[in-house]
């Protein structure tokens, strides 16, 4: 655990008692603060009380008297579509509102670092798609190259649940827009921007607010090095804003699909090959096509981002390549589940929006596509250009009929349940086909989360084959 610094002897309120909220309360107490906690759910409040925390109704008038700060869990809206009443009350009382990410950055460095030979570093990864894979891949590369590393944030454990830093350690954080938007302290050594596509628009009042939330990691974080995906206008804009000129190698530009020229530091993937070009000269090249844990152009972009981040730390191209070869992939993200009679089964349950599902469809040929669920805003038109690889779509979810009707030109079978979809796909599949779960929708109509949806897919596959 990282004890929180700066609040010893003070009362700090914590709103939301999920994973990050509980960890914040514990870390505050470990650092000498007195946490008072609140959650909208009675069960969470009872659990916190049983754990010895002082549960205080922060919705009551005067609840913030004597409170030094309010720490808010990332799932709680602080501005759009409307501020939570407790946050509004903190504003009215003049109490600073913050989150656990900020507490981490304020507390990670300690006096113990004076005795280290090599200062610990933090790599923070944000973006719309690929954050988890990029973060996990960076962590895997570091470990395989003998560097001590921890993985936390929106993946793995909470940021305050990690161990205090060791000499030369690297902490890899995956950060969502919910986490970067509110944090008062953001000071990574290396910051990575994967890409930007529409998501969480209600929480950020549109794409501009969503972009602004993620941009804070770079504009206010002031990283020593920034790795920026430049395949969208927002990435190009951000790279331009951070760079002092064409040869400024503090900004590493990353692309999947286009060759990057110029005097700076560029890493790109084309036709399955990663290339590193620095000062106009190719430094290294990696064949990504046979790396099973990184299939498709979208994962090649993730590979480029991870490669770039690791190069900023001085790792060699060969060392990075060896580590990539052994990368197993993440559960529910282009995860190879099984193979029988030449048919592969791939679980990409994390493809919860149109853009991520489109990337999955581009990664394979001859697809038996299991899709559907709770649709997000914008419809499915963004998928239509990629249906040429789909032999048949097997649609699940409560909105399966409506979902299937939007797949114009595709052979779509309404199945309703995962079990029925897998059974039908297995029956239809021929050697060379890929049975792919890439829902292009949220899971909440049938499952509590995308992980449970992916696990159900895997269980149905095992039962069917």
Q: Which residue ranges make up the annotated binding site? A: 127-133
Q: Report d(CA 212, CA 180) in Å as an integer.
A: 10
SS3 112: helix
Structure-token pair, residue 246: 């064409």
Q: What is the β-pairing status of strands 412-416 and 121-126?
A: unpaired
8 A C-beta contact, residue 53 and residue 25: yes
Q: Residue 17: phi, psi to the nearest 5?
A: -120, 40
388/380 Cα distance (integer angstroms): 15
Beta strands 273-278; 265-270: pairing state:
antiparallel
Q: What's the CA gap between 213 and 252, in Å, rounded?
A: 21
Sheet containing strand 265-270, strands side by side: 149-153, 170-174, 121-126, 190-193, 225-229, 251-256, 265-270, 273-278, 281-287
Q: What Å distances lie between residue 200 and 16, 252, 260, CA to CA?
A: 19, 27, 30
User: In this structure, are residues 162 and 171 in contact, taking their beta carbons and an 8 Å threshold?
Assistant: yes
Sign of torsion, CA 322 328 333 337?
Answer: positive
Residue keyed to tokens 């990864």: 125
Structure tokens at 102: 């900020």
Q: Are 120 and 185 a contacting pair, CB within 8 Å? A: no
Calpha distance 378→364 (Å, rounded): 24
Give the annotated binding-site residues for ATP.
127-133
| SS3 state of residue 71 | strand
Distance between CA atoms of residues 230 and 262, nearest Å: 14
How many whole angstroms from its chain centre is CA 77? Answer: 19
């Amino acid at each position: 655990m990282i004890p929180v610094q700066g609040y010893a002897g003070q009362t700090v309120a914590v709103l939301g008692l999920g994973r990050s909220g509980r960890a914040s309360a514990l870390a505050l107490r470990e650092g000498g603060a007195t946490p008072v906690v609140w959650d909208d759910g009675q069960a969470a409040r009872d659990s916190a009380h049983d754990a010895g925390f002082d549960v205080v109704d922060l919705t009551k008038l005067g609840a913030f008297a004597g409170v030094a700060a309010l720490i808010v869990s990332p799932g709680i809206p602080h501005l759009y579509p409307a501020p939570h009443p407790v946050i509004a009350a903190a504003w009215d009382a003049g109490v600073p509102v913050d989150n656990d990410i900020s507490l981490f950055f304020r507390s990670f460095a300690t006096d113990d670092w004076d005795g280290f030979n090599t200062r610990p570093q933090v790599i923070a990864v944000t973006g719309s798609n690929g954050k988890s894979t990029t973060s996990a891949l960076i962590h895997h590369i570091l470990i395989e190259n003998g560097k001590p590393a921890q993985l936390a944030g929106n993946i793995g454990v909470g940021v305050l649940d990690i161990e205090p830093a060791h000499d030369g350690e690297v902490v890899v954080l995956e950060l969502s827009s919910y986490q970067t938007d509110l944090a008062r302290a953001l000071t990574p050594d290396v910051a990575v921007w994967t890409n930007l596509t529409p998501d969480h628009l209600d929480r950020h009042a549109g794409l501009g607010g969503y972009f602004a939330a993620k941009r804070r990691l770079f504009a206010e974080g002031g990283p020593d090095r920034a790795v920026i995906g430049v395949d969208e206008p927002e990435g190009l804009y951000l790279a331009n804003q951070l760079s002092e000129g064409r040869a400024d190698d503090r900004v590493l530009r990353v692309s999947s699909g286009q060759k990057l020229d110029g005097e700076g530091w560029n890493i790109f993937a084309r036709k399955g090959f990663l290339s590193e070009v620095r000062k106009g000269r190719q430094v290294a090249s990696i064949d990504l096509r046979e790396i099973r844990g990184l299939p498709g152009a979208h994962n090649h972009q993730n590979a480029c981002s991870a490669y770039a981040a690791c190069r900023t730390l001085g790792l060699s191209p060969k060392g990075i390549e060896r580590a990539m070869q052994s990368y197993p992939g993440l559960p529910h993200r282009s995860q190879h589940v099984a193979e029988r009679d030449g048919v592969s089964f791939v679980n990409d349950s994390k493809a919860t929006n149109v853009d991520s599902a489109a990337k999955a469809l581009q990664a394979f040929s001859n697809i038996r596509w299991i899709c559907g669920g709770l649709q997000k805003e914008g419809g499915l038109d963004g998928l239509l250009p990629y249906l040429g690889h789909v032999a048949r779509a097997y649609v699940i979810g409560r909105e399966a009929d409506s979902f299937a009707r939007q797949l114009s030109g595709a052979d779509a079978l309404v199945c309703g349940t995962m079990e029925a979809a897998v059974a039908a796909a297995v029956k239809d599949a021929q050697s060379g086909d890929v049975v792919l779960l890439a829902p292009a929708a949220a899971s909440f109509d049938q499952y509590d989360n995308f992980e449970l949806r992916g696990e159900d897919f895997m269980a149905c596959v095992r039962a069917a084959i």
